[in-house]
Amino acid sequence: MKSKKYCLLLILVILLNYQYTLGQSVEYNGWLFWSHQQKLSERWQFSADVQVRSADKMDYINTLLIRPGIGYKLTDNQTLTFGYTYFGTWETEHDRKIYEPENRIFEQYQVENQIQRTELTNRFRYEQRFISQQNGNVFAQRFRYYINAQIPLFVNPLFTKGLYLAVQNELFLNVQGKDKINNHFFDQNRIYAGPGYRLNEKTDLEAGYMFRYQIDKETNLQNNILQISLKTSF
């Protein structure tokens, strides 16, 4: 019963955020994502995310994200992580590519729960952003809240192998420097759903649809994204 309540909550978040999707610029993108966690000791772990993104209509690769971090497990299901993010973009304007790098420092708190066999993750991340733009460097801070549920469909009794459904939502809020970003407290929202297959208890493979609504200074964007993800843990 609790599992159903959390699933309904996720669906409600998705429906509430759909109100932002009318009358905006639309793009179609592809994202490849690899996430890894490496146990170092009973309490310490290393994590790393690597993501490659395409431009509109998958014309070319325009974004590379690399995010390493060191985490400390407060309890079996709660982890504090401190890390760094490199975020590089290459946009084509008037037949020339413009490179705009961004460096981030982040602090993160993550809690993982299991309700029956459904795995629920809540993540709170605070970012310090150092952005290089054509008209100068920018410093801003952003808060992110992420919730994800992995709902077993056809799996073995311990959910160490089999087919599942992944549903998630992530909200981005500008805490400092919004006048240099988009002049709004609300930055963006990402909704995702798709099937996944647990190859073993250390490896998940997913392919799903993500809708991203992002506020920019000049125009607001709707991104329709095909995302393929590999998640590993050793």
Predicted confidence at residue 2, as pLDDT, reads 53
Contacts of 91 (CB under 8 A, 6+ apart): 55, 62, 97, 98, 100
Q: Which domains does the chain have, with CATH numbers?
A: 2-233 (2.40.160)
Predicted confidence at residue 5, as pLDDT, reads 53
3-state SS, the chain, equals CHHHHHHHHHHHHHHHHHHHHCCCEEEEEEEEEEEEEEECCCCEEEEEEEEEEECHHHCCEEEEEEEEEEEEEEECCEEEEEEEEEEEEEEEECCEEEEEEEEEEEEEEEEEEEECCEEEEEEEEEEEEEEEECCEEEEEEEEEEEEEEEEEEEECCCCCCEEEEEEEEEEEEEEECHHHHCCCCEEEEEEEEEEEEEEECCEEEEEEEEEEEECCCCCCEEEEEEEEEEEEEC
CA dist 193 and 175 (Å) reads 28
Predicted confidence at residue 134, as pLDDT, reads 77
- pLDDT tens for the chain, 234 residues: list them: 555 455 555 555 554 554 444 457 999 999 999 999 999 999 999 999 999 999 999 999 999 999 999 999 999 999 999 999 999 999 887 778 889 999 999 999 999 999 999 999 999 999 999 999 877 899 999 999 999 999 999 999 999 999 999 999 999 999 999 999 999 999 999 999 999 999 999 999 999 999 999 998 878 999 999 999 999 999
Predicted confidence at residue 19, as pLDDT, reads 47
Place of tokens 């890894």: 36
Q: Is the pTM of this model over 0.85?
A: yes
Place of tokens 């808060």: 143
State phi, psi for 179 to the nearest 5 degrees: -65, -20
Structure tokens at 45: 């772990």
C-alpha R_g of the chain = 18
